[in-house]
Structure 1
């Protein structure tokens, strides 16, 4: 074979490439000419391989911008296959992209050849899709860490230290560190911490694990993703010798002690990094992680995201992260494989210390002290031993949400005695040493210290998200509900994941997250967090079948296909409503359709009756006393209809028509099944109205005029909730939406045993997981209706036909018994403030907004 290579620039004559593509894709694989040749050909560089003068193979390269290049239309004539030409094409296209500054290579691969591209370092992600009549999967390859070696200390290490000595012989103009640790990392240059970021990189569905062995087995094919961090370290460098220091600890990646869901650690801790230097004379240099890095055991003997840490600061090498340190007794690193995952820069905010609290000493007996923080929060106490304390003195810290009558801590709600959050510190004898966990956080209101150490402060920690809203009213309980939700939600955002609770489970349950997503977007600066979490949800959707896991990132956990899986539709749609971002709808529309198809596959007679074998198939959750009367198929079919309608609306917004007939049929067939199986023609109710059943139906427009009337009559009579996390939100939403604001308000503020009043009267400062308060006392899911405080009680709504709160209509619910309410929310376009005063026999509404926002009155 006399092989020749020819490149064709953009706009050039690519007819030889077209000949190969016509033979391979049109004649052999039956693509039409219209499918094969598209508008991208004119903006692509084309590559053709020849045997003498005969064109035999080709490919194209497209600059997508931002350092991303897409390889495509890679074809080899049939008689030349098996000679390595496909590999040559990919390598030549990749090299050309790198010459142009590519940081990321993309390809849409036919599913059958995914293993070929995997061998070349490409990683599959997202759903399988049809390109013409052939299934494809998108793949990516990150080049930011090219030539970087992945390094580890030893197998099963809880934490380790690493350092790299760097010599600079001339002035540096710019220095950028790109670093990835699996799990969490702390980063230093010349002894100084270079960032106040905590619990980074953000938690993801890191790498492949065999999910068939967990307690509720999963056989799905998921997407795996790892984030790296980028820091400007120019100001930390000096002439001569410098040192990069890294401390790596388990985090979620290496967590192995909590096995409630049957999970073990993802893998052994590792790191990789590069430092890109630009000298003042213009010279470029790139320093990468390699065998010259030195590693050593950490002074942290145990670090666990759930259970806490054991630290012996006597074992911390003094100055280990500074220049001039003698690391001759340190070890060369072990080499590790790079993660076979999508590797990309973290754009979402990190965890940080947000504020501090001064703990109050409430009891002391000998060396046993108990402190009260005054509120249920997430973070950790910072301890200090008294001056002149001897080395090897110890302190044990334990934290809980509740306290017993005898003054001892009650650990039950935060995980019981089997999962106590605790830290154990061994003093190094130095008066200036501070003691706090490095790779976890705790949550609770009370903590105890056994030993002589004392708390300097409690650092409140969560993802760097702020409360951007205000709410106050003449009703103290309504005010408490708002404040408790804000505190609970912030407690539950770590590593850019909205969790169910900040202690016992710490998981990104999709059901909890979707039902509170509107409240969170209304009140907090959560845009970037949700952008990351939507990606987590999509990463945990089965590539081929569309099944959505109950937690994202996936870490096991029970749930149901509707309230939990429906997050793949509801969260992006809410994101669009709040932020006006159509790109998000376009990105996740295929996931929405795939999810609907999955739900239909779990139907019998058009009712959703099952999820995955061996797992749960919940409907509503946390109804009073956990007695669930409302049938699971009813709730899950409600969510199928609801999400199919949203998907149909999204299709209309995007101008997509191909799925309309299918979606309309799903809606019609399932609506008929709901009516035929659950509607009582004599009474007009569904399931006798149990646990909000008529609210679920009315929200879909099912039933007749009696359905809503029966709903109103029932809750007027009982005056309390009998619903779970989904039913409570849906009930209040239906009442507010249909003009029954007074009744919705009375339910929100009712004083029965099934109420927020009960939580408040029990001394709670956060929302409970269950109405009875048996388990977690920091669960945001019952806070979903904080959204209603703004959309209905204050009346701030997008004007019909608009999104993003650039054009709003103020239409507060009629609630005569609420005499005063004032609040504001910060939107993408500015702040909107509403004040309503019903005192003195008249109603006064004052609404204002920042410039650029149109305000209308209903």
Structure 2
């Protein structure tokens, strides 16, 4: 690859007005604790605090900070923090600052604020007051017992648990709910928060999750009505052999009383329990998620006391639960993010109704109906696609509603969800209204992208939307309906896309906890977490290494590296035990894992089962893992491990090259694109051969495959990474512009609103196979990348922090690009326009970040921030603020 970096120049724009300002322009715009906003139940008593900054001064930066923390807001406002006063700390760092105050205890609530000092040393204003609550850590246990519906009435039911409690005083009150199965909390008839399908997923043979709710504003002095509505969800014997007949619920309600927190209520056999009328229909094995059966004759109209008093309550029973650790949920939850009116509601000749929501969604269905006779049944069948005759392509998902016979009646899902676009409704004559309630993880979009090419925008938006449909409940699924599994292969394929487009840090923290919980004593891993026997291969298992590393790069949070390191090493020991003559060989199926795949679902004509390709892909995967483990061990101070991994990788790469390289045509293994691309990405190709091998891959892609995608699930992110690294934007743009199969626009032209499982359409029409291309729009066209090159390391505490570079690739046929991407410090914005042989780059850098700018498409930079640029420079270091770069193009 050509090297253009002749001179390094720093464009800091640190010149400031000479007039003395009375006040700093630097201010805090966002605060988080362990990556969460105002969490109520965290899993550590020594959390890390972060804040983002903004300033109207060009080149401003934080030179110091002060943090104050107190047990009440009033103490902070009075300037009397009783928990922590950091004093002025000289530091540019504003991320993951460790709490350093008084030792905290479970249930403690901490209120905190921060004040930054600007580049001139002037203090800014204090931030808004944020808070965090310490959960049950260091062996602390919630008070209360697990309770359930009586055994004779429990099977697949969704019980309502109820207790009236007396409240005295005016301190903050937090309810902690630990459920095996889903739950919703209601206080005096009002839902405690907006989240649904709580808690997140976990490996329920080992771990359940505790969710905290601030219910202070819903309570009043005297008697209050507390209700927990629970559903079986994942907690089933068909999935977890040690599961009891659930759902099971434990609740503790704690109140702030002076400087301590005291439990004032908890679950036991004194709570009332009743069947709500909801019943789960599925086993939740693949193809058996089915839906819910709701008896409107039993279902309470509201959670108000008057309606609950009509129900047939009896006493709950206490249940002993052993061997399952209850820990705080570090994921905010799921939310209804859109309420969609249908595109069409059509009554068909057979008396059924066909509802088209307009796009595929993950979520609930809500329908209001008139004129139903008591006891009559309404059936709703769901599908993500219809055939050419307008009939549903069945995915075995349906709901049943039994009418109460009382005026307008409404059905809404509660403890299950569907992935659907179309619904066939049978058994009703008069539909009053219909809505699709779209559910996703409660996380923020963190990037935007647009360019002058409409086709490329369409592909980007298709993937961006698909990710929304697939990421919820603290993990990411292959598809939300048929299997609903957290596959590591699908996860690896889309991690860079996901972490670019959304604030997914809490999702990966929760998901990696599940991966650590499923590792077997010999170091073997299933292909999904939570565990279920599914197909896959080493690439699927390697998620345990690749996901924490990418999470570190994208969010600058090293905690997953440290937390998962032991499991990573154990899995690599397992890999070594199945290696012969220096190469990994196929391992046998087990009762928790099947198959030994390389690539998966490649386009027609490419044999993903070819033995040479499978061996090539899997050994390159291990090489890639060893490369990351070398860096991870170095970052964690494990130098002997780092040397061991590096030596293993070097030896493995030599073996891969000698075993699979074809010198006569500069290809590898079965000569398909993934085999060649992975050799380049994993560093298998010797330096003196890289150009020839890369040229061969491009020639193959343009010639034999006619500028079409020629890889599957595993190959998409690998091919994308090669294309970004080797500046193949023209090739990638041409591949993405194809309207015939295999291609993304083929899906769109055939009605897709999300990416499919198969390139030509089959089985699932909202899937996580081919979304790895999404990172290309940001990494290549906008040029925003995060990495850890040795020459650009910056030291924070004892760990290196990832850096950002902006290196736009100006693909042919694209006149302009506009993109933003959020970082731990704030938003990077890039906009470029090309006119003839010149281009203008408008770039905005957040406070706290320095970014390297370069572009191989630039011949000469002529102006920087309005000033003529005379130096022969190809790399600029941009400090915070807005910058304009004008350049002549190659």
The TM-score normalised by the length of structure 1 is: 0.77
Secondary structure of the 1:226 match is strand
Structure 2 residue 425 is the aligned partner of structure 1 residue 437: no
The aligned counterpart of 1:721 is 709
Q: What's the CA shift for 1:572? A: 0.6
Structure 2 residue 745 is the aligned partner of structure 1 residue 763: no
* 1:661-719, Cα deviation, whole Å (9 max, x unpaired): 42133213321221222112333321252242111111123232432222122112132
Aligned pair count reads 700
Q: Given the alignment, which residue of 537, 543, 548 partners 2:525?
A: 548
Separation in 1, partners of 2:668, 2:224 = 72
Q: Given the alignment, which residue of 463, 468, 476 partners 2:446?
A: 468
1:408-423 equivalence runs, <5 A: 408-411=391-394, 415=395, 420-423=396-399
The aligned counterpart of 1:627 is 607
Q: What's the CA shift for 1:589? A: 2.3
Normalized per residue, the structure richer in helix is: 1
Q: Structure 2: which 5+ residue stretches go unaligned?
A: 1-42, 48-102, 108-135, 795-799, 855-890
The aligned counterpart of 1:112 is none
Contact 2:654/2:684 (CA < 8 Å) preserved in 1?
A: no
The aligned counterpart of 2:483 is 505
Q: Given the alignment, which residue of 244, 249, 254 partners 2:236?
A: 254
Separation in 2, partners of 1:685, 1:832 = 39
Q: What's the CA shift for 1:239? A: 3.8
Q: What's the CA shift for 1:513? A: 0.8
Separation in 2, partners of 1:298, 1:835 = 54
- In structure 2, do the counterparts of structure 1 residues 748 and 241 end up closer, same or farther at CA, with 3 Å as the change threshold? same
Q: What's the CA shift for 1:772? A: 1.8
Separation in 2, partners of 1:830, 1:610 = 45
1:186-201 equivalence runs, <5 A: 186-201=184-199
Separation in 2, partners of 1:318, 1:480 = 43
The aligned counterpart of 1:781 is 769
- In structure 2, do the counterparts of structure 1 residues 186 and 285 end up closer, same or farther at CA, with 3 Å as the change threshold? closer
Secondary structure of the 1:344 match is strand
Q: What's the CA shift for 1:200? A: 0.8
- In structure 2, do the counterparts of structure 1 residues 399 and 657 end up closer, same or farther at CA, with 3 Å as the change threshold? same
Contact 1:177/1:275 (CA < 8 Å) preserved in 2?
A: yes
* 1:556-600, Cα deviation, whole Å (9 max, x unpaired): 211102x11111111111111111112332222222222221111
- In structure 2, do the counterparts of structure 1 residues 760 and 235 end up closer, same or farther at CA, with 3 Å as the change threshold? same
The aligned counterpart of 1:176 is 174
Secondary structure of the 1:181 match is strand
1:36-435 equivalence runs, <5 A: 65=45, 103=106, 142-154=139-151, 157-168=155-166, 170-207=168-205, 224-254=206-236, 256=238, 267-278=245-256, 284=262, 286-304=264-282, 306-317=289-300, 322=305, 326=309, 330-365=313-348, 367-386=351-370, 389-411=372-394, 415=395, 420-431=396-407, 433-435=409-411
Contact 2:493/2:769 (CA < 8 Å) preserved in 1?
A: yes
Contact 2:235/2:243 (CA < 8 Å) preserved in 1?
A: yes
Structure 2 residue 532 is the aligned partner of structure 1 residue 564: no
Contact 2:178/2:326 (CA < 8 Å) preserved in 1?
A: no
Contact 1:371/1:446 (CA < 8 Å) preserved in 2?
A: yes
Q: After the TM superposition, which of the residue ranges 323-332 and 762-771 deviates more from structure 2?
A: 323-332
Q: What's the CA shift for 1:172? A: 4.3
Secondary structure of the 1:244 match is strand
Q: Given the alignment, which residue of 585, 592, 615 partners 2:561?
A: 585
Q: What's the CA shift for 1:647? A: 0.3
Structure 2 residue 699 is the aligned partner of structure 1 residue 699: no
The aligned counterpart of 1:664 is 646
Separation in 2, partners of 1:531, 1:64 = 13
Secondary structure of the 1:372 match is strand
Separation in 1, partners of 2:786, 2:548 = 17
Contact 2:445/2:502 (CA < 8 Å) preserved in 1?
A: yes
- In structure 2, do the counterparts of structure 1 residues 404 and 681 end up closer, same or farther at CA, with 3 Å as the change threshold? closer
- In structure 2, do the counterparts of structure 1 residues 307 and 770 end up closer, same or farther at CA, with 3 Å as the change threshold? same
Separation in 2, partners of 1:283, 1:738 = 58
Contact 2:536/2:597 (CA < 8 Å) preserved in 1?
A: yes
Q: What's the CA shift for 1:150? A: 4.0
- In structure 2, do the counterparts of structure 1 residues 354 and 343 end up closer, same or farther at CA, with 3 Å as the change threshold? same
Separation in 1, partners of 2:567, 2:613 = 27
Contact 2:463/2:755 (CA < 8 Å) preserved in 1?
A: yes
Secondary structure of the 1:177 match is strand
Q: After the TM superposition, which of the residue ranges 720-729 and 832-841 deviates more from structure 2?
A: 832-841
Separation in 1, partners of 2:291, 2:443 = 24
Contact 2:600/2:712 (CA < 8 Å) preserved in 1?
A: yes
* 1:699-754, Cα deviation, whole Å (9 max, x unpaired): 12323243222212211213222211122221232132123221222223234421
- In structure 2, do the counterparts of structure 1 residues 231 and 432 end up closer, same or farther at CA, with 3 Å as the change threshold? farther
Separation in 1, partners of 2:851, 2:256 = 51
The aligned counterpart of 2:83 is none
Separation in 2, partners of 1:805, 1:748 = 33
Q: After the TM superposition, which of the residue ranges 678-687 and 804-813 deviates more from structure 2?
A: 804-813
Separation in 2, partners of 1:598, 1:290 = 45
The aligned counterpart of 1:851 is 847
Q: What's the CA shift for 1:186? A: 1.8
Q: What's the CA shift for 1:467? A: 2.1
Secondary structure of the 1:818 match is coil
Q: What's the CA shift for 1:424? A: 1.1
- In structure 2, do the counterparts of structure 1 residues 303 and 190 end up closer, same or farther at CA, with 3 Å as the change threshold? farther
Structure 2 residue 672 is the aligned partner of structure 1 residue 690: yes
Secondary structure of the 2:709 match is coil
Contact 1:245/1:322 (CA < 8 Å) preserved in 2?
A: no
Contact 1:273/1:289 (CA < 8 Å) preserved in 2?
A: yes
- In structure 2, do the counterparts of structure 1 residues 741 and 170 end up closer, same or farther at CA, with 3 Å as the change threshold? closer
Separation in 1, partners of 2:583, 2:724 = 28
The aligned counterpart of 1:492 is 470
- In structure 2, do the counterparts of structure 1 residues 169 and 553 end up closer, same or farther at CA, with 3 Å as the change threshold? closer
Q: Given the alignment, which residue of 790, 793, 808 partners 2:781?
A: 793
* 1:385-420, Cα deviation, whole Å (9 max, x unpaired): 12x654334322122111223322222xxx3xxxx2
Q: After the TM superposition, which of the residue ranges 310-319 and 752-761 deviates more from structure 2?
A: 310-319
Q: After the TM superposition, which of the residue ranges 239-248 and 755-764 deviates more from structure 2?
A: 239-248
* 1:765-814, Cα deviation, whole Å (9 max, x unpaired): 11111212112111133111211110111111237435899853321124
* 1:107-161, Cα deviation, whole Å (9 max, x unpaired): xxxxxxxxxxxxxxxxxxxxxxxxxxxxxxxx98743324534444326521242
Q: After the TM superposition, which of the residue ranges 548-557 and 348-357 deviates more from structure 2?
A: 548-557
Secondary structure of the 1:466 match is coil
The aligned counterpart of 2:830 is 834
Contact 1:263/1:556 (CA < 8 Å) preserved in 2?
A: no
Separation in 2, partners of 1:162, 1:381 = 22
The aligned counterpart of 1:711 is 697
Q: What's the CA shift for 1:660? A: 2.9
Q: Structure 1: which 5+ residue stretches go unaligned?
A: 1-62, 68-99, 105-138, 208-223
Contact 2:447/2:502 (CA < 8 Å) preserved in 1?
A: yes
- In structure 2, do the counterparts of structure 1 residues 309 and 834 end up closer, same or farther at CA, with 3 Å as the change threshold? same
Separation in 1, partners of 2:638, 2:155 = 51
* 1:516-540, Cα deviation, whole Å (9 max, x unpaired): 1111110112111111112122222
Tell me: higher relative CO, structure 1 or 2? Use CA pairs within 8 A at least 6 residues apart. 2
Separation in 2, partners of 1:854, 1:438 = 47
Contact 1:142/1:343 (CA < 8 Å) preserved in 2?
A: no
- In structure 2, do the counterparts of structure 1 residues 550 and 355 end up closer, same or farther at CA, with 3 Å as the change threshold? same
Separation in 2, partners of 1:336, 1:609 = 47
Separation in 2, partners of 1:314, 1:330 = 15
Separation in 2, partners of 1:775, 1:709 = 36
Separation in 2, partners of 1:767, 1:851 = 37
- In structure 2, do the counterparts of structure 1 residues 190 and 651 end up closer, same or farther at CA, with 3 Å as the change threshold? same
